[in-house]
Amino acid sequence: MMEHLLSVDDLGGRAGIESMLDLTDSFLEVTQRDIPKVPALRGKTVVSLFYEDSTRTRLSFETAAKRLSADTMTFSVSTSSVNKGESLLDTVQTIDAMGVDSIVVRHPAAGAPHRVASWTSARVINAGDGCHEHPTQALLDAFTLRRHRGPSLDGCRIAIVGDVRHSRVARSNVMAFHALGCELTLVGPPTLMPERLDGWPVAVTPDLDHVLPDVDVVYLLRIQRERIGQALFPSLREYAARWGLTVERAARCKPDTLVMHPGPMNRGIEIAGEVADSARSLVTEQVGNGVAVRMAVLWSLLGSGGPIV
Amino acid sequence: MSRDEMSRDEMSNGEVFVQGGRVIDATGERVADVRVVDGTIVEVGPALAPSAGATVLDAAGCVVAPGLVDIQVHFREPGREDSETIETGSRAAALGGCTAVVCMPNTDPPIDDAAVVQSVLDRARVVGLCDVRPAGCITKGRRGEELAPLGELYDLGVRVFTDDGDCVADALVMRHAFEYAAALPGAVLAQHAEDPALVRGGHMHEGAWSARLGIPGRPAVAESTIVARDLQLAKRTGGRYHVLHLSCAESAALVRAAKADGVRVTAECTPQHLVLTDEACAHFDPAFKMNPPLREQADVDALRAALLDGTIDAIATDHAPHTPESKDVPFEEAPPGMLGVETALAVVLTTLVEPGILTLAQAIGALSWQPARVVGLDAEGHGGPIVAGRPANLCVIDPAHSWSVDGARLASKSRNSPWDGWKLTGKVRHTIYAGVPTVRDHEPTR
Amino acid sequence: MSPQQAGESNARDSSGREVAGAVEDAGAGDAGAVLRTHVFDAVDLRRALTRIAHEIVERNHGADDVVLVGLYTRGVALARRLASAIASFEAVEPALGALDVAFYRDDIGLRPVAPLGPTEVPDVSGKVVVLVDDVLFTGRTARAALDALLELGRPRAVQLAVLVDRGHRELPLRADYVGKNLPTRSSEDVRVRLAEVDGDDGVDLWGVPEREDRDR
């Protein structure tokens, strides 16, 4: 049984991921009701502990918790004692002492949720840690894609384009998509590819135009302006010209090729606005499915009551 | 020690008698008792008898070796006495079998000034558990810009100069340090070889694990490029160069070639780099964070080979205490470094000697007489040989003693040991520093 | 971690069968359970359903406003059979729904609870909803079903149809339509088999000998 969700690894491979996606189906139905709420986690308390601003992820988790009737608390770093120098350990021990059931952690340092998990009896969910992982993003992406290409994603060809090196989304998605049988190609400037790819079940190329005609999904990553200052690529203009999904490039894809992006998008840089808004784009749907996926995760950690034997 | 023993010691005649052990030093191995009087070895031979009133240390089944010499420790005094002091560090060193250590100058204030050197020496003398030799900074404030007063420090006995913790990145500064140190016979420049630009923002070895974990890396090439540069400078200036905690295969190859080329270079590596790999970081435990970082199996193998063929002269621990508060944080926010001085011998015996990678004599040599030679402490009575007339700096090792490491119960003021929970075989039973037992039957005498 | 998978591979434990109290399991998964009696064979089962179908139509003066909502897993299959039975003698086939009560159970966190399938219920406002389940035991599943149903709309009335009522109610609930009243010990287990789920039709009573000794 899953104790925490710190990494896609914790989901238990293909079977575990698929059962989580199946569970998400049940919750998607709940979110589409007139009263999109069930009493499943009445009396449970979920705390979001966010050391990075990410209103969309935090709201998605808190909405999920509320739709399960859990109580939610936000520990926002900007208004808290962390500003007075309180350590992560002390903060977690304070939250733990309040008797919460789950802590949703977003932190700029890789592995911070693992540390939190070692300090609390609450179930810890990784909502993004440094460049490490973002497992619920991978689940919602897989769920979204499965609704279009499912039930099986075996053989689905996905290009993940952009700053893979610094992307927690890419790390989680590579693992999840691979577990589900997808064929993955990483595309981007070599400076933004992982320094070493031992054990990564992927092909790598700098040439986006070469892979576009063959792929079923183009998954674009957000590009950060600060990488220019680190001498990783010369300019946003050059990036957009070589690795942006422009209207012209999108036109060279197969008619049914889908476009995904974890958001927030830099329109006109990694993705053209017209492409983001086109029929092949799943971007809005990804966001919508986030709540159902996080309901499934919260339920699995807090509600299912233990392994079914 | 019980009150009875204490009083007996006080009434003793000044003789310490090490009985029934197997003596191992650079000259070889023999079964012999060792008689020590007033700090000096007076007799070594089989089946001697202790004189009446002697303090007898049982060495049956044990190895009697020269005291160990750890040429890279951080005792944090002055400045960070909350993590370690000269007293707690010396006690840990004695428990680890050391009779001499070289403590690094990245204190606060740094050891770039004669007054700081003198204060460390004075404090160490008062503590009296171990010969604590401060290394001096190469540059003022360890800023890598202006030379520290190498001569003044030298006059107080400093022989090792380093900006450890930081690399002297400026090649011209390093060249001038080499040239200047030529006026100081026996001085050695020791480099923490990591190019600061190449490791900027990095927290672990750059490799498959850093890529998987999303932790920015510190590539091996950051070390080997500095080693290559410094070897060129040492060759050109004729200066003496020592590579601190050498960690990767490329650096080992460079040092091997330079030695063959006649460059005056020595190198050390740590037990952790001889045993652990970057995989240890997979669970984000900051106990395994250090600079240079734990590398890959190929590097571990290369370091072992380099130790065997003499490319690497010594094992040193880079004993780096950090308070629990500073280590109980996310990996990327934790300071680098780990405890080591108390566990080094046991780790080496368990992981390298027991599996037959090193002989016992090779292991002791790498921890004792070889490092003593690197820093010139062989001329000051450390590292043996165990013969009449030499100062009595000894350790008695029980190679069969099995124990478990508990970071919180080590003598160090901090507890950041990556060996926490490890079951080790081999432990120091007695340590004798300047003729006085500092550890007796596994316990510090004070 | 894999509730649905486990639900399928261990249908007897997690298919919505009621258990007494909360944590104390009625023995559904007990090793050592022995078959005590065949309560229904396939013919008995068909007759009981036919009778219930007629009772539903009779009681509600037709089937126009009736919605049959099955509770996962076997209640869904039973509701489907009732609907076709009614269609065979009435002009209309009643509307069908399927309800998963997992998120409404009162023993969440006390024992493994897994959703068993997607809730699909047509508009029930103003309708007579007949909840359909295989076995009525403690009444806790029916209670959860009422809560789940009432969040989906406001039916004119709610009725309950079960194939077997085995007694041992823990809540003040009763069934409107019962295929068979079957006195049981709390330690015993009533297992309904349906062709759609289990391969064939029947109802069996299982018991655990030691447990019965303890009961006395």
Mean pLDDT in chain A? Answer: 93
Indicate the DSSP class of residue C199.
S
Say whether C1 and A307 touch across the interface (CB within 8 A).
Answer: yes
Per-residue pLDDT tens digits for B200-214: 999 999 999 999 999
Per-residue pLDDT tens digits for B29-52: 999 999 999 999 999 999 999 999
CB atoms within 10 A of CB B240: 24
B384: left (phi over 0), alpha (psi -120 to 50) or beta: left
Enumerate domains of chain C plus CATH numbers: 40-186 (3.40.50.2020)
- What's the mean pLDDT in C183-202? 94
Residue C17's pLDDT is 55
Q: Residue B309: helix, strand or coil by DSSP?
A: coil
Architecture in CATH for domain A8-134+287-303: 3-Layer(aba) Sandwich (3.40)
Residues 6+ positions from A226 with CB-CB distance below 8 Å: none
Per-residue pLDDT tens digits for B178-199: 999 999 999 999 999 999 999 9
Residues 6+ positions from B376 with CB-CB distance below 8 Å: B159, B186, B188
What tokens appear for A274 in the block? 């017209």
Pairwise pLDDT comparison (B194 vs C28), residue with the higher score: B194
Residue-wise over A119-131: b if at least 16 C-beta within 10 A, else e? Answer: bbebbbbbbbbbb
Q: Are residues B41 and B114 in the same domain?
A: no
Q: Are residues B353 and B413 in the same domain?
A: no
Task: Give the whole-angstrom CA distance, residue C20 versus residue C28.
Answer: 11
Question: How big is chain C by its Cα radius of gyration, in Å?
Answer: 17
CB distance A255 to A109 below 8 Å: no
Domain stops at, among B350, B380, B410? B380
Task: Give the whole-angstrom CA distance, residue A163 versus residue B286.
Answer: 27
Can chain B be said to touch chain C, i.e. do they have 3 or more Cβ pairs within 8 angstroms? no
Q: Are residues B185 and B50 in the same domain?
A: no
Residues 6+ positions from C62 with CB-CB distance below 8 Å: C90, C92
Say whether C103 and A35 touch across the interface (CB within 8 A).
Answer: no
Q: Which residue of B284, B296, B297, B420 is the best one to mutate when testing the A interface, meaning the one whose CB has the most A CBs within 10 A?
A: B284
Q: What is the DSSP string of C19-73?
A: -SSSSS--STT-TT-EEEEEEE-HHHHHHHHHHHHHHHHHHTTSSTTEEEEEETT
Q: Are residues B134 and B185 in the same domain?
A: yes
Residue located via tokens 């209670």: C143
CB distance C202 to C72 below 8 Å: no
CB distance C45 to C203 below 8 Å: yes
Which of B214, B217, B331 is closest, CB to CB, to A171? B214
Position B385 in a domain? no
Domain stops at, among B329, B360, B380? B380
Task: Give the whole-angstrom CA distance, residue C206 versus residue C199.
Answer: 18
Which residue of chain B is at minimal alpha-carbon distance from A92?
Answer: B329
Q: Are residues B106 and B145 in the same domain?
A: yes
Whether B278 is catalytic = no
The residue type at C116? L
Report chain A residues whose CB lies below 8 A from the CB of C6: 307-308
Q: Are residues B203 and B309 in the same domain?
A: yes
Which residue of chain A is at minimal alpha-carbon distance from C106?
Answer: A40
Mean pLDDT in chain C? Answer: 85
Can chain C be said to touch chain A, i.e. do they have 3 or more Cβ pairs within 8 angstroms? yes
Position B27 in a domain? yes
Q: Are residues B270 and B314 in the same domain?
A: yes
Say whether A111 and B211 touch across the interface (CB within 8 A).
Answer: no
Report chain A residues whose CB lies below 8 A from the CB of B297: none
Which residues form the domain of B235?
67-380
**pLDDT surpasses 80 at A83:** no
Q: How confident is the model at residue B115 (pLDDT cuts 50, 70, 90)?
A: very high
Q: Are residues B286 and B428 in the same domain?
A: no
Q: CA of A39, closest CA in chain C: separation in Å?
A: 6
Domain stops at, among B351, B380, B409? B380
CB atoms within 10 A of CB C17: 23
Which of A115, A196, A197 is closest, CB to CB, to B284? A115
Distances in Å between the alpha carbon of B112 and those of B40, B173, C120?
34, 16, 78
**Residues in a beta bridge with B351:** none
Distances in Å between the alpha carbon of A70 and those of A40, A43, A256, B415?
8, 6, 40, 40
Fold of A135-283: Rossmann fold (3.40.50)
Q: Which of B236, B398, B237, B424 is nearest to B346 (CA)?
A: B424
Length of chain B: 446
Which residue of chain B is at minimal alpha-carbon distance from A192?
Answer: B211
Query: From the candidates B164, B318, B398, B420, which is the catalytic residue?
Result: B318
**Residues in a beta bridge with B126:** none
Per-residue pLDDT tens digits for A118-173: 999 999 999 999 999 999 999 999 999 999 998 999 999 999 999 999 999 999 99
Report chain A residues whose CB lies below 8 A from the CB of C3: 19, 23, 300, 304, 308
Say whether B217 and A132 touch across the interface (CB within 8 A).
Answer: no
CATH number at residue B239: 3.20.20.140
* Structural domain boundaries in chain A: 8-134+287-303, 135-283
Which residue of chain C is at minimal alpha-carbon distance from A20?
Answer: C2
CB distance B198 to B256 below 8 Å: no
Task: Give the whole-angstrom CA distance, residue C59 versus residue C74.
Answer: 24
Per-residue pLDDT tens digits for C30-47: 567 899 999 999 999 999
